Structure 1
Amino acid sequence: MENNSILIVEDEKKTVELLKLQLQSEGFTITAAYDGEEGLQKAKKEKPSLIILDIMLPKIDGLEVCRILKNDSKTKNIPVVILTCRHDMEVRLEGFKKGADDYIVKPFDHRELLARINSILRLIKLQNTLKASIEEVERISVINEINKAISSSLNLEEVLKIIGCQTKRLIDYDLISVALLNKGNKFVKVRTLVPHANIEVGEEFYIPFESSFLTQNITGGTTLSFSDKKILELSVTPDLDKVLSAIIVPLNVRRKTIGSLNIGSYKENAFSTTELEVANQIASQVAIAMENARLYERVSESEKNYHQLFDNALDLILLHDPETGSVIGGNRKVIEALGFSEDELIKMSMSDLISSSSSLKAEEILRKIRDEEELIFETSYKKKDGLALPVEVSAKLIDFHGKQLVQGFARDITVRKQAEKELHFLANITTNAPLAIIGTDNDGIITSWNKGAEIIFGYETEEITGRACEILIPDELKIQRNLIIQEALLKGLLEEIETERIAKSGERVPVKITYSVIRDEKGKNIGIAHIIRNILQERELQRQLIQSEKLSTMGQLVSGVAHELNNPLTGIIGFTELLMLEVNKPLYNDLKRIHQEASRARRIVQNLLSFARMHKSEKTRVDINGIINNVLELKSYEMRVDNIEVISDLDLNLPVTLGDPHQLQQVFLNIINNAHQSMTSACQSGSMIIRTYSKETSLIMEFIDTGPGIPKENITKIFDPFFTTKEVGKGTGLGLSLSYGIIKDHGGYIYVKSEESKGACFTIELPLIIDNGCINEIRSYSSEYPVIRELDILIIDDEDTVLQLFKEILSREENRVELAKDGKIALEKIDSKGYFHVIICDIKMPNMNGNELYNLLKSQQSELIENFIFMSGAINDFETLSFFDREINPLLLKPFSISEVLNAIFKIVNKKKDCNSFQDLEKIKIF
C-alpha cells in the first residue's frame, strides 16, 4: 500500500493546523512535531513519506535536524522540504548543503506547496522503481552467472565458490555454507563456500543428525529467517558467537530435500524479505549444481555411460597426445563430419587434421594448451574429401585414467562463418558506399554513421554517435523534417527527398535522402535508416547543362542571324566588285571602301559563325597566327572600350602545323577572356602581349597580361574542373579545364607562371607536325581570277540577290546561265536541258534543299554530281557537317568574292579531261 504520510516539524501551531487542513484534504496522513528533538524521534519511528521542516525550531534548529536525518541510514532517504521566512540565498544554500530536497518561503501558496510535495514524491517513486529495476537486473545477472558456472563446469568446488561470490552481490552476508544430508540421515555434512577465519573454501565439517537444530529445519522443507542463538550450529568457526541473523533454505531435488543453503550475518535483523526471495532462487541453483555433481560422479564411475555421452555429443570431440599431437580417439561426430574411419583417425596427428589455411599451426596449438588452462580458438579441419570444415575449438588438458591428454570440443561453424561473411560483405558495402548511411533510434539519436557520412558531413563516427540528428538539420527545415519522418513511419519507405543538411564546417549541403523504417523481429519500429546522397555536383552539372543549353541556343540564334546577314553581304561584295570593274577613279575608291567594310563585316560574321558552328574534331593544317588574329578581331571592340592595349608579337614565319582550328580558337579565346576580365575587374585597364615563335620541333604561344595575378594557393588548381574565383553566374570553372584537355589532346602542354599583383603568363607548346593534305572549302583572297566562257551553268538559291549576282558575273563572258529558286525547279531544268557544266547550289532552301537534290541525282547515277559546287551562309547542324564529311565537292561560304566563285568554277571545269580548252584560261586582275 502506498505511503502518503507527511511529518510537519513546526513550532507555530497555526501553521501546523493550516498545513494539516490543506494536506489532509489531498489524502495525506499528517503527523506533527513542535521542536527539533521531537521531529527527529517521530521521523525515525514513523518513517514518513516526506518531512516539512521549519528552520527556526526550539531545542534543535531545522538545519541541524536536516543534517542528522540525512546522516542516519534509516532516515536518509526521506525527502525534506524546508520552510523559512527568510529570502536570504545563503540560508537556502546552507539547507541544500545539509541535504534538503526543496524549500518554500513563508507565506506560501498552498498550491505551490502541494505541487512541490507531489513532484518530490513522484521523483522518489521513480527512484524507487529505478532502484528496484537495477536490483532486478543485478539479480538476473547473478542467476545467469550461476547458471553459466553450472552449465560450463562440472567441478562442484569451483561452482560452489562462484555461487558464494555471486550471492555476495545480492545479500550482504558474513558466512555462507551448504549442508548436505548423508545416506541414511546419520549426520549432516557442512561445506563452506567462502573463506573466513581459519576455514578454507571447500572444507567440510560433520554435525550429528539427531542433535542438530539445523537438521530439524532442513527436514522441515521451508525457508527460515531468524535471529537466535540456536543458529550457532550453522557453521563451525572461531567467531561463531558473532552470528546474529541467519537464513536456512532447503535444497530440493525432484521433490526431495538433500540439504540446505545457510547464510549468516553478524548483524541483527540483517536480511530483508527480498533477500529471502533471492536466497530461495540461489538455493534452487545450488540444488541443481549439487545434483549435477552427483550425476558427474556417477558418469565418472561408469565407463559405459561416459562413452555413451562421448559418442552422442553434438560437438566433435577429439583426444590428442599433448606432446606429439597424435589422435588418441574421437567421437562419432568426428567420424561423420570428417569422413575418416576410426582406424584412419587414430593413425593421424593434429597437424594432419589442421588445414594449411589455418592461422594457427598444430605445434603452436599444443604449446599454448600446455601453457594455458584452456584454449579457445577457430581453425579448419581437413576432411577426407579435401574440403575444409571451419570449427570453433575449446581445448584443454584432462586427466584420463591417470594420463594427461588434450581434449578438444570442436563445433561446426560453417553456417556461422557464412553468415559472418555475408554480414562482413554487407558491412563493407555500408562502410565504403559513397552514400551517407545513418541510423537513428525512435528519439532521433544517431546510432550508426558510415564512412560516406564522415566524408559528406565532416563528423567522425566517435564524435557524432549518440547525438541528436537535429545537429544536421537547418532550423527552417526542422518542421518539414518531422513531417517527413511521420510520413516515413506510415509508409515504411520514402525515396529521394531533396533537401539540405548542415556539415560540421557550417556549410549547407544539398542532398537527396531515402528514409527506411527499421523494425525488430516482431515488426516493431526501432529506428530509421537515412540513405543520403550529396547532389552538390549534380546541381552544378545541372547548372552547367542549363548554361550549355543557353549557349547552344545563343549559338543557333547567332548562326541564323549570320546566315541571314551573309546573303545581303554576298550581294554587296559581289555587285561592288562588278562596279569596280567599270567606274572611274573617284568612284572606284569609294567602292573600294565599301568593299573593304563589307569584307570586314564578312570576317566578323565568319568569326561568330566559327564559335556557333558545330564541328567534328578533325586535325587539319592550321595557321596559328591567323587563328589568334581572328580571336583578336572578335574581341577588339570590347578590349578597346575597356582600355586594354593588345600588343601582337607574332612570328610572321611561324610554320603551319596540324590541329583542330575550332578547338584551338576556343583555347585562345578562353585565355584572352580570362585576362580581359581580370584586368578590367582589378585595374579598369591594362595591356596584353601575345607572342608566337617556333623552337626546334615546337610552336610556342605566350599570353602575358598585367592583371592582378594568381594567388600561389590557386596555381595548382587553375586547370581543375569547376574551379573558379569569379562571382556566381560569371564563370563556370570549365574554360581552362577544357583548354587543358584540348592542348593535351593535341600532344602539347599548357602552363601558367604568375605572381600575385604582377600579372600572369600562360604558355602553350604545340608539336610542329607537317601535313600535305588539302581542304575542300574554297577561300581564296587572290585579286586575280580566271575568265570563264561559253559554259552552261545552273545557279540554285532562294535569294534573288544572289541569283542576280551570279547572272551578272557569269553572263558577261557569254556563259549560258539558268536560275532556280529551289531544288524542285532545278530538277525540272536539269531534266529539260539534260546537262550543265557547273551547278552552283545553296544548301538550305525551301521545297527541296541542296543535300536532297544532290542525293537524288547521286541515286540516279548522274554524272552531274561531279559538277556540283555548294554554297551556304552557315553550316550549323550535324546533318550538314556529316554530309561534307562524306562528299568532296567544293564549298563556297557566303559572302564570297568574284575571285572565289570563278576559281571554284575553274577547278570543276579543269578536272574534265576532255575540256582542254580550259587548261590555260586567261587570268585578269580587278584590283
Structure 2
Amino acid sequence: MDRPDRQVRSDLWNAVLRVAVRHANLLRPPAFEELAEAMASTSPLRALGLLVPESDGESQLRALWPADACPSLSTGGRVTVSRHFQEQVFVAGQLSLSDDHDQGNELERTAAANGFLSHLALPVRGHAAAGEPRAIIGALVVAYGERGAASRAPVELLLDITDALGEGLERNLDEEEQQKRLVQAERLAMLGTLAGGVAHEINNPAAFITLGIGLLERTLHGRDVRMEGKSATIVKDLLLDLRASTQRIVAIGDDLRSFTKYSSNDLSRRVPVDVGRSIETALSLTRGQIVDRAQLELRLLEVPAVLMAEGRLAQVVVNLLINATQAIPKGGPKQGPHRHVVTVETRSDGQTVEIEVSDTGAPIPAEKMSRLWEPLSTVRSSETGSGLGLFVSRQIVERAGGTIRVESPAFSGGLSSEPHGSRFVIVLPVEESDAAPAEVAVAKPRHATRIKLLIVEDEAPLARALADHLRRFHAVTLASNGEEALALLAEGRSYDVVMCDLRMPGMSGEAFYAHLATSKPELLQGLIFMTGVGFGDNVERFLRDSGRPLLEKPFTAEQALKVIDEVHAKRGA
C-alpha cells in the first residue's frame, strides 16, 4: 500500500487521540460516532462498522456510523459474511482489502449499493493470557466513497484504533456475558422449583392411574365378570400397556425429582449408586435433544455400583450429554456415513468404573480448554449454557473420590478431514461392598388386623382410588385437608393409623403434625406421610426428626398395606 501523506496521518492520529482522551470505552455512545467523524474529517471515509462473529456465517453488527449509512442494516442486527471473509479476517487474522465487493458478503453488497466503493476490514483482537495468542473477537470494516481509497488507508493507525476498540469490545462482551449468565442462573433456579412442581403434578395423577389399573384388574377378575377369548386377550394386553406407560411417566417424574431432592450440601452423604440406572435417567432427560441432531450409540457393560451422593451421577451425565449435543449442528443426516454420533460407554476393571461420553461434533475451542473447569466458563455460547455445568460436575465427581478428564479434538478422519469431536471420561472408585445397590422388596402384607384408617389427601380421585383398595382390609375415612382431619378428631373419632399428604393447600403435612403433637400426641406414632414431589433440606430434616415413614407417590396398594401393617404393629408393641 502507498503510504499516506505524513500530515494526513498526523491529523488523523490527533483526531483519534482527542476522542480517546474523552472516552474510556470507544464503543459506548457517542464515542464511536465521534471516532468515525474524526476519521472522516481527514479521509474519504463514508462508513464505519464493527462486526462480531457468531455462528453459521453470521455476524452481529455491534456499531455502525452513520446510523443510516445502510437502510437495511442496524446496530445489533445480524449480517451474513462470506466464507472467504470469515477465514481471512476472523480465522487467519489478516486484512481484507477490496475495491470489487465480495458478493457473498451482505454487508459489502449493501455498502456497494449505497455508494461505498472500496473497503478495508481489519481484525479486532482481545487480550490474551501469558504465552497465548490474542483471540480475534471482531472486525472493523472501513468503507470509502472513492474506488481505491482502501488501498491508500493508513493501516498502522487503523490497527492502533482496532486495539483501542478491542479493549472496549472485550469489556462489553464480558459484561454482556456476565449478565446472560446471571439471567441463566436465575432461570436454572426457577427451573429447579418448577421441576419439583412438575414432579408433583406428574406423580399425583400417576398414583391415581396406578391404583386405578389395579382396581380395574380386580374388578375384571370378579365373579360377576365373564370375559373370554379375544376380548379377554385384548383387555389383558391393554392393561399391561397402560401399566407400562404409567411406569414410564413415573420414571420421568423420578428423574426430575432426583435433580431437586438434594442440595449441594448433600454431596458428602454418599450411598451405593447404580451406574446403569443413573445413565438411563440421564438419557431419559436428554434423548429428545440428542436424536434431533445425532445417532445415539450405547456400549454399556454391567459395572459395579459406585459410592456417591444420590442423583448426582445422573446430573453429571446429563451435563456431558448436553455438551455433546450442543457441539453438533442441527439439520445434519441422522443415518449414513456422514451422520454425527453421541456415544455413551461404561467399563470396569473391578477397582474403578469408567463412564465415557463422546461426540463427533465441533471440538472445544483451544482458547477455552485451559478454563474449561472454571465457574462461568462456557464450552459453547453463553446463550446455551450457564457456565456452571462442567464446574459443578467436576466438584461432584471429585467429592466422590473420582476424576474427570477431557480430550478435544478426540478424533481424526472419518466424518471430517479435520480433527473433531470431544471425549469426556469419568473415573469413579467401586463401592467397597460387593453387594449391589439394594432393591426395594415389597413383602406381602399380613393384613391380620382390621384397623381404623384416616386418609388425609387433597387429590380427590387419588383418595377415592386408595380408599377403594384399602377398604378390603380396613375401615377407611377420607379427609380432603388437614383442617377437616383435625375436625374429625375433635369430634372424638379415633383412628389407629393416619395417612397424610405432605404437600396440600392450606395446612401442610408438617403443620398437621404440629397440631397433633399438641392435641393428639398419642396418634403421632400412627402417622404415615405421603408425597409426590422431591423435597428440600427443611422437609427432609422434619422427616428425620419426626421419624415417620414416607410413601413416595406413586405407590401400589400392596406397598401402602405393608407400611400400614408395620406402623400399626409398632404402635401396638
Q: Where does residue 657 of structure 1 map in the other structure?
A: 306
Q: Which amino acid aligns with 1:664?
A: L
In the alignment, structure 2 segments of 5+ residues that lack a partner are 1-14, 36-62, 64-125, 127-160, 222-231, 335-339, 412-418
- Paired residue for 1:626, among 270, 277, 284? 277
Gap change, CA 1:723 and 1:886, over 3 Å in 2: same
1:807 CA drift (Å): 1.3
Distance in 1, matches of 2:430 and 2:397, equals 13
2:126 is equivalent to residue 478 of structure 1: no
- Which of these residues, 401, 405, 424, is aligned with residue 751 of structure 1? 405
Q: CA deviation at 1:687?
A: 2.9
Quote the residue 1:844 is aligned against. Answer: 503
Q: CA contact under 8 A between 2:293 and 2:330: conserved in structure 1?
A: no
The change in CA–CA distance for 1:569 and 1:762 in structure 2 (over 3 A counts) is same
- Deviation at 1:671? 0.4
1:733 pairs with 2:387: yes
Over 3 Å counting, the alpha-carbon distance change for 1:835 and 1:541 in structure 2 is: farther
User: 1 or 2, which has the higher strand percentage?
Assistant: 1
Partner AA of 1:900 in structure 2: Q
Question: Residues 687, 505 of structure 1: CA spacing in aligned structure 2 closer, same or farther, 3 A cutoff?
Answer: same
- Give 1:909's aligned residue: 568
Residue 562, structure 1, aligned to residue 216, structure 2: no
Residues of 1 paired with 2:371 and 2:285: CA distance? Answer: 29
The structural deviation recorded for 1:689 is: 3.2
After superposition, what is the alpha-carbon deviation per residue over 1:155-189, rounded to whole angstroms, capped at 9, x for unaligned? xxxxxxxxxxxxxxxxxxxxxxxxxxxxxxxxxxx
The amino acid across from 1:807 in the alignment is A
Distance in structure 1 (CA, Å) of the matches to 2:568 and 2:433: 27
Judge conservation of contact 1:698–1:765 (CA < 8 Å) in 2: yes
Relative to the length of structure 2, the TM-score reads: 0.62
Residues of 2 paired with 1:570 and 1:766: CA distance? Answer: 36
Corresponding position of 2:187: 550
SS in 1 for 2:561: helix
Once the two structures are TM-superposed, the CA of residue 802 in structure 1 deviates from its matched residue by 1.7
Give the match for residue 688 of structure 1: 342
1:801 aligns with one of 445, 456, 461: 461
1:585-734 matches, within 5 Å, as: 585-586=232-233, 587-613=235-261, 615=263, 617-618=265-266, 619-621=269-271, 622-651=273-302, 654-681=303-330, 683-685=332-334, 686-710=340-364, 714-734=368-388
In structure 1, give the amino acid aligned to 2:392: L
1:579 paired to 2:182: no
Paired residues in the alignment total: 408
- Which whole-Å CA distance do the structure 2 matches of 1:832 and 1:550 have between them? 48
Deviation at 1:723, TM superposition (A): 3.0
RMSD: 3.8
Inter-CA distance 878–541: structure 2 relative to 1 (3 Å threshold) = farther
Q: Conserved in 2, the CA contact under 8 Å of 1:647 and 1:687?
A: no
The answer to whether the Cα contact below 8 Å between 1:678 and 1:708 also exists between their aligned partners in 2 is yes
Residue correspondence of structure 1 range 778-793 to structure 2 within 5 A:
780=440, 782=442, 786-787=446-447, 789-793=449-453
| C-alpha deviation, 1:798, in angstroms | 0.9
- In the TM superposition, what whole-angstrom CA distance separates every residue of 1:627-667 from its partner, at most 9, and x where no partner exists? 1111112223333344422314131xx33333112332221
SS of residue matched to 1:509 = helix
Question: How far apart in 1 are the matches of 2:168 and 2:29?
Answer: 15
Offset at residue 823 of structure 1 (A): 1.0
CA distance in 2, matches of 1:687, 1:798: 47
Q: Whose RCO is larger (CA < 8 A, sep 6+)?
A: 2
Q: 1:764 deviation in Å?
A: 0.9
- Contact kept? 1:657, 1:771, Cα under 8 Å: no
> Is 1:768 matched up with 2:416?
no
**Deviation of 1:873 (Å):** 1.9
CA distance in 2 between counterparts of 1:788 and 1:549 reads: 53
CA distance in 1, matches of 2:366, 2:21: 41
Deviations 1:14-43 (A, max 9, x none): xxxxxxxxxxxxxxxxxxxxxxxxxxxxxx
Which residue identity does 1:838 align to in structure 2? V
Give 1:573 shift.
Answer: 0.8
Give the TM-score normalised by the residue count of structure 1.
Answer: 0.40
CA distance in 2, matches of 1:655, 1:445: 68
Query: 1:855 aligns to what?
Result: 514
Q: Letter of the aligned partner of 2:291 in structure 1?
A: R
How far did 1:597 drift? 0.8
Alignment partners' CA distance in 2, 1:748 and 1:889: 35
Native 8 Å contact 1:647 1:690 kept in 2: yes
Q: Kindly provide the amino acid, as one letter, of the partner of residue 406 in structure 2.
A: V
Structure 1 counterpart of 2:183, which letter?
A: I
Q: Which residue of 1 aligns with 2:534?
A: 875
CA–CA distance in 1 between the matches of 2:556 and 2:199? 17
* Cα pair distance change 1:564/1:721, threshold 3 Å: closer
Q: Identity over aligned residues, as a percent?
A: 27
Alignment of 1:414-453 (within 5 A): none
CA distance in structure 1 between the partners assigned to 2:325 and 2:481 by the alignment = 46
Cα separation, partners in 2 of 1:481 and 1:823, compared to 1, 3 Å = farther
Structure 1 unaligned regions, length at least 5: 1-442, 447-466, 483-499, 512-533, 915-927
Distance 1:503 1:794, change over 3 A: farther
Distance 2:32 2:421 in 1: 51
Q: Distance in 2 between matches of 1:681 and 1:715?
A: 24
For the 8 Å contact 2:25–2:31, the answer to whether it is kept is no
Q: Contact 2:278–2:314 at 8 Å: present in 1 too?
A: yes
- SS in structure 2 opposite 1:889? coil
Distance in 1, Cα, partners of 2:465 & 2:454: 13
1:752-806 Cα deviation digits (max 9, x unpaired): 1233535332111123344799x9xx99475955546402211001111122122
CA separation of 1:477 and 1:881: change in aligned 2, threshold 3 A: farther
Contact 1:743 1:750 in 2 (8 A): yes
Q: Distance in 2 between matches of 1:472 and 1:912?
A: 74
SS in structure 2 of the partner of residue 581 of structure 1: helix
| CA distance in 2: counterparts of 1:805 and 1:557, whole angstroms | 27
Cα deviation per residue 1:491-538 (whole Å; 9 max; x = unaligned)?
xxxxxxxxx999836325389xxxxxxxxxxxxxxxxxxxxxx78766
**Counterpart mapping for 1:369-388 below 5 A:** none
TM-aligned CA distance change 1:472 to 1:829, over 3 Å: closer
Change (3 A) 1:697 1:743: same
Matches of 1:472 and 1:544 in 2, distance apart?
A: 23
CA offsets, 1:94-151, max 9 Å, x none? xxxxxxxxxxxxxxxxxxxxxxxxxxxxxxxxxxxxxxxxxxxxxxxxxxxxxxxxxx
What displacement does 1:841 show? 0.4
Q: In the TM superposition, what are the counterparts of 1:177-326 in structure 2 within 5 Å?
A: none
**Per the alignment, in what secondary structure is the counterpart of residue 328 of structure 2?**
helix
Alignment partners' CA distance in 2, 1:700 and 1:901: 38
**Cα displacement string for residues 555-592 of structure 1 (whole angstroms, at most 9, x for unaligned residues):** 33343343233222211110101222342553233212
